[in-house]
Structure 1
Amino acid sequence: MASPAHRLLQALDHFNAAHPWDHNAHYHRWVLRQLPHRFGSALDVGSGSGDLARLLATRADEVHGVDADPVITSQARALTPEATAASFTVADALTGLPAGPHDVITCVATIHHLPFTEALSTFRRHLAPGGTLVVVGLFRPRTASDHLLGAAAVPLNAATGWLKNRGRRAAPPTSMTARTRPADMPFSDITEAARTALPGARLRRRLFWRYTLTWSRP
């Protein structure tokens, strides 16, 4: 017989499946707050269905969205009005990025799919002097603090899903249809590698199983 704790987790899983919401889009407005009011060129790595790229286009002269998945990239193009200053390309995130340099580079829930240090070095090369890099990533819980933050997010996750869906059952949004995988790096290793590759980088654990990294190129 399943334990009460196991039954509770199953009930939460069923509830969350019935009331899905995009944890990455939750941070899009936070991403915008890290950026200048206006900038020239922006690059969104792992652009998915294009939600963040379209937001960046309200501030930027041009936005290049890059994703390795042709299906989700096709959806991004279909969802983007022609007048929007955002374009989308199917390309490898390490070898196929538009040369730039770019004033802004964003990467949300994508860097854990890539060799971490190599990805940061690639972003650094494509970032203009004075430009801003913003990463929202996933990490593997390892410490007591990690697990406590994850536990605190569980009821908030359910409540947010209920509110965003107004209590109704819903299908996952288009932005949640891209392929994904669990993170394998703990936050401590991410912090150490990031501060070596990007001296002065600022990192912080966040709710909903995410962390953030911001860095300005000298």
Structure 2
Amino acid sequence: MTTLMPRVLSALDRFHAARPWDHNAHYHRWMLRQLPKRFGKALDVGCGSGDLVRLLAGRAGSVHGLDADPAIVARAQELTDPATPVTYQVGEAPKGIPPGPYDVITCVATLHHLPFTETLTRFRDRLAPGGTLVIVGVAKPETLGDQLLAMVSAVLNVAMALLKNRGRGAARPVAMTAKVRPADMSFPDIAREAHRVLPGARLRRRLFWRYTLVWQRS
């Protein structure tokens, strides 16, 4: 067993390298379902190559994408139709977040790179009354529930890779070229602090090593 497990993990790594799919983009449609059909001004923090920004632009009066990586922001600009109501900015969150206010703020797989409480506070302060904050985040697995959900995700991850790539190898999506780092906060700690900063926030563990947070400002 001790010699078999490393070989199994190595085989899985090779499998997923040949059949990549974007776990973050998997939640984009779910995020849109949390938002009004139409809204005014939106902000996507950690926008990467702008996939979610372009989806938001179909509903928003204007969308602003913010990311700390100049190369990925340049790529986002290349991929975005100049006729759409979209702007991009290179900047570090939370200090670099423009004043707003925003009717919608989104953040996908970025919050664990940032000072958690300070960033949530900035999101809260930049949100317009009645505005909606939607986060897809990454937590440090610590509890038994985390481990069980990770096991289910690992199995489904193989099925999704085959489904999305139709059983063949595929190029790595542009959005998956960004730098990654492991999360250092557990889901219980995230939920506790989020409820302190954002009373009434709805948090839930999700498949594929993600959690979600939705909050509406009164």
Query: Same fold, TM exceeding 0.5?
Result: yes
**Which deviates further from its counterpart, 7-16 or 124-133?**
7-16
Q: Which letter maps to 1:215?
A: W
The percent identity for this pair of structures is 63
CA contact (8 A) 1:113 1:181 kept: yes
Counterpart mapping for 1:83-98 below 5 A: 83-98=83-98
Question: How far is the alpha carbon of 1:87 from its aligned partner?
Answer: 1.1
What is the DSSP-based 3-state SS (H/G/I as helix, E as strand, rest coil) of the residue aligned with 1:160?
Answer: helix
1:47 maps to a residue whose letter is C
Cα offset, 1:15, TM superposition:
0.6
Letter in 2 for 1:27: Y
Paired residue secondary structure (1:205): strand
Q: Distance in 1 between matches of 2:64 and 2:7?
A: 45
Q: Could you tell me whether the CA contact under 8 Å between 1:45 and 1:67 is conserved in 2?
A: yes
Q: Which residue of 2 is the match for residue 104 of structure 1?
A: 104
After superposition, give the CA deviation of every residue in 1:194-216 in whole Å (9 maximum; x if it has no partner): 00000000000000000000000
- Unaligned 5+ runs, structure 2: none
| Number of the residue aligned with 1:194 | 194
**Separation in 2, partners of 1:51, 1:6:** 35
Amino acid at match of 1:58: G
* Equivalent AA in structure 1 for residue 199 of structure 2: P
Question: What amino acid is aligned across from residue 185 of structure 1 in structure 2?
Answer: M
Aligned CA RMSD, in angstroms, stands at 1.0
1:137 paired with 2:137, answer yes
- What corresponds to 1:119 in structure 2? 119
DSSP 3-state at the match of 1:166: coil
CA distance in 2: counterparts of 1:208 and 1:183, whole angstroms: 14
> Could you list the per-position Cα deviations for residues 158-211 of structure 1 after superposition, in whole angstroms to 9, with x for gaps in the alignment?
111111111111221000011111111000000000000000000000000000
Match of 1:87, SS state, is strand
1:48-63 equivalent positions in 2, closer than 5 A: 48-63=48-63
Aligned match of 1:37: 37
Distance in 2, matches of 1:61 and 1:212, equals: 25
How far apart, in 2, do the equivalents of 1:121 and 1:187 lie? 18
